[in-house]
A and B are shown apart, each in its own frame.
Chain A
Amino acid sequence: MTTIRPSTLIPLLLLAALAVLPFAAESYYTAFFARVLIYAVAASALNLALGMGGMVSLGHALFLGLGMYSVALPAHFGIDDGWLQLALCVAACGLVGLVTGAISLRTSGIAFIMITLAFAQMGYFLVVSLKQFGGDDGLPIAGASRFFGLELASAEAVYGAAFCLLLALTAWVARLRVSPFGMTLRAGRQNARRVASVGLALPRYQLAAYVLSAVLCGLAGMLLANLNAYASPSSMSWMVSGELIVMVVLGGMGSVFGPLLGALAFLGIEELLKGLTEHWMAIFGLLILAVALLGKSGIAGLLARLDARVPARRSPRLAEGRA
């Protein structure tokens, strides 16, 4: 017999609401929340490297971009086979992740941040320089990705795909956190020296997590390209990498639901402020500052504090363990 706590219950209710949203909401909101779900997937991907592994990558927009161009480039040549695009995305992100990860992981701390940023900027300028594929202006996508019968042409279709991907990813992360792999990563963030002294070659596990993180971020990019019917280098800029970090930190580093909570809060507040004032960036900056002061436990940490206050309800199966 295990208990279901507010820190699990509230995100699950949120997921339930997101499951029915496209059936109830106007197209505009479906598109907006599709974007939230896609960024939640990307943030989940970054959460593996940053939240669990403590690898502060300021270059994950590179993988988002690689995912987008894995759709846009084949589409440019009339290839809309989603499986082929997927294979291209996995290969590109996996390979680039492996090479840049292997090099970046030779360093740590600020140097790691700078090297990941440098690789992402190289990718950004490479794409900008490819004038035949739109360069600075980006590349419109005429035909959406097709997976058997499913075509990611409408916001609803992308929403559905993003929701299912996020759900699967979240369920997996809940297991991963306490699996030998996840525990090794989390142990490495706490005390890297000790991990080695119990026989685990930490860099190998960190590299594997980095590559996994890169590939998953690429999948988010594929969905984003389909949602926007467009791939642009601006999605590869360092600002996007920074936003992903803010989402992970805002939601709660290393937590299961943090990336969803962070992406929702970040994009939701941005959307609200944009409607209120032209100077939304300034207010947004203050909010990010507040988040930094919140500490690394973020929104998930706030929910976990509720657990102590609210008497736990009994449920036979669902439990996530400690926050």
Chain B
Amino acid sequence: MSAGARPPEGGAPSPGEVVAQRPEGRTMNTLLHTEGLTKRYGALVVTDAVSLDIREGELHAIIGPNGAGKTTLINQLSGELAADAGRVRFAGEDLSATGIAARARRGLLRSYQITSVFDEFTVRENAALAARGARRHAFAFWRGLLQDAAAVAAADAAIAATGLAARAQVIAADLGYGERRQLELAMALAAGPRFLLLDEPMAGMSAQESAAVVELLRGLKRKYTLLLVEHDMDAVFALADRISVLVYGRLLVTGTPDEIRNDPEVRAIYLGDEELHQ
């Protein structure tokens, strides 16, 4: 994936940025920080004053029951949806008023819970467009997209990483469901993310496909900062450095997998859920 990766921003944390201690003892910057993020639909508060810190390099999972507001939160982090109140800071920059395209160009990339790819394009074209869009403008009217060597290299690396190498020339509409989910991931990866927002990447996949994605995410850990929304608790507890629990739009608790497993409030919400009671 090196072709698709942006160099991580090195150097000392800028003043005013939160410096957190990781379990291994390395100091880490906060890469993404939200403060009082709020979204209402009429009387329904879907995001309720969410303040969140995601550290550079961690895999941070967000869990919560259906309708808790996980997708809505991702929409506000990616810039697809404007928050009613609150701020979003990314890499020390206030992006609260920045649109989704501009955030993507800064390395804040997302995948969709409901597969969202370009059906008429091949797998490689899909990934190459994502790679191009995050790196350079597309005001090029003569040379083919697939002649953009940098974009194609990033695209092919992402396609290979998601296990689609053999399907690169296939039109997206002709892919199977699981393969479309893989392409969804490949597009986000091809864009050379610094921070990946993954909305249920394993939704609807077979056990075998899910296992492959878990392996992929394990490989992506540390290279990228990841925010993972997922209902598959096995995957979440196996992968996450920290977990936040979202209930009715409110951030209930954030902690390590062990802390979350043993939290009485979380246990009450997930009462009967085997994964948490093991």
Within 8 A of A (CB), among B175-201: 187, 191
Complex: A194 Cα to B129 Cα, angstroms: 11
Among the 9-residue stretches B11-19, B114-122, B258-266, the one with 4 or more Cβ atoms under 8 Å from chain A is: B114-122
A197 touches B143 (CB 8 A): no
A179 touches B118 (CB 8 A): no
Within 8 A of B (CB), among A167-200: 172, 175-176, 178-184, 186-187, 190-191, 193-200
Closest to B140 in A: A180
A133 within 8 A of B: no
Residue-wise interface mask of B (77-121) relative to A, using a CB-CB cutoff of 8 A (1 in contact, 0 not): 010100000000000000000011110110001101000111111
B119 touches A190 (CB 8 A): yes
A181 touches B138 (CB 8 A): yes
A198 touches B138 (CB 8 A): no
A183 touches B100 (CB 8 A): no
A205 within 8 A of B: yes
- Which residues does chain B contribute within 8 Å of A200, judged by CB atoms? 101, 129, 133, 138
B138 touches A183 (CB 8 A): yes
Complex: A8 Cα to B212 Cα, angstroms: 42
For the complex, would chain A's binding face be called helix, strand, loop or mixed by DSSP majority?
helix
Interchain Cβ contacts under 8 Å between A and B, 14 examples: A172-B142, A178-B145, A180-B138, A181-B140, A183-B138, A186-B118, A186-B120, A194-B116, A194-B187, A196-B100, A197-B101, A197-B116, A198-B187, A205-B138
Among B104, B132, B135, contact of A197 (Cβ-Cβ < 8 Å): B104
The verdict on A199 contacting B125 (CB below 8 Å), with A183-B145, A186-B120, A187-B118 known, is no
B80 touches A197 (CB 8 A): yes
B99 touches A198 (CB 8 A): no
Residue-wise interface mask of A (265-308) relative to B, using a CB-CB cutoff of 8 A (1 in contact, 0 not): 00000000000000000000000000000000000000000000
- Which residues does chain B contribute within 8 Å of A179, judged by CB atoms? 140-145
A199 touches B80 (CB 8 A): no
B139 within 8 A of A: yes
The verdict on A199 contacting B143 (CB below 8 Å), with A183-B125, A194-B116 known, is no
B146 touches A178 (CB 8 A): yes
Closest to A321 in B: B144
Closest to B135 in A: A199
The verdict on A175 contacting B120 (CB below 8 Å), with A199-B191, A205-B138 known, is no
Complex: A183 Cα to B151 Cα, angstroms: 13
B143 touches A198 (CB 8 A): no
A198 touches B129 (CB 8 A): yes
Complex: A195 Cα to B129 Cα, angstroms: 9
Residue-wise interface mask of B (194-219) relative to A, using a CB-CB cutoff of 8 A (1 in contact, 0 not): 00000000000000000000000000
Chain A interface (Cβ < 8 Å from any Cβ of B):
172, 175-176, 178-184, 186-187, 190-191, 193-202, 205, 208
Among B80, B132, B141, B145, contact of A193 (Cβ-Cβ < 8 Å): B80
Closest to B144 in A: A178
Among A181, A182, A191, A196, contact of B117 (Cβ-Cβ < 8 Å): A191
B134 within 8 A of A: yes
Nearest CB of chain A from residue B168's CB, rounded to whole Å: 14
Complex: A187 Cα to B144 Cα, angstroms: 15
Complex: A191 Cα to B173 Cα, angstroms: 13
Closest to A203 in B: B101
B227 within 8 A of A: no
Within 8 A of A (CB), among B132-167: 132-136, 138-146, 148
A201 touches B141 (CB 8 A): no
B144 touches A195 (CB 8 A): no
Besides A190-B121, A197-B109, A205-B138, 19 more A-B contacts (Cβ < 8 Å) are A176-B142, A179-B143, A180-B132, A180-B143, A181-B140, A183-B125, A190-B118, A196-B99, A196-B100, A197-B78, A197-B80, A198-B130, A198-B134, A198-B187, A199-B101, A199-B104, A199-B191, A200-B101, A200-B129
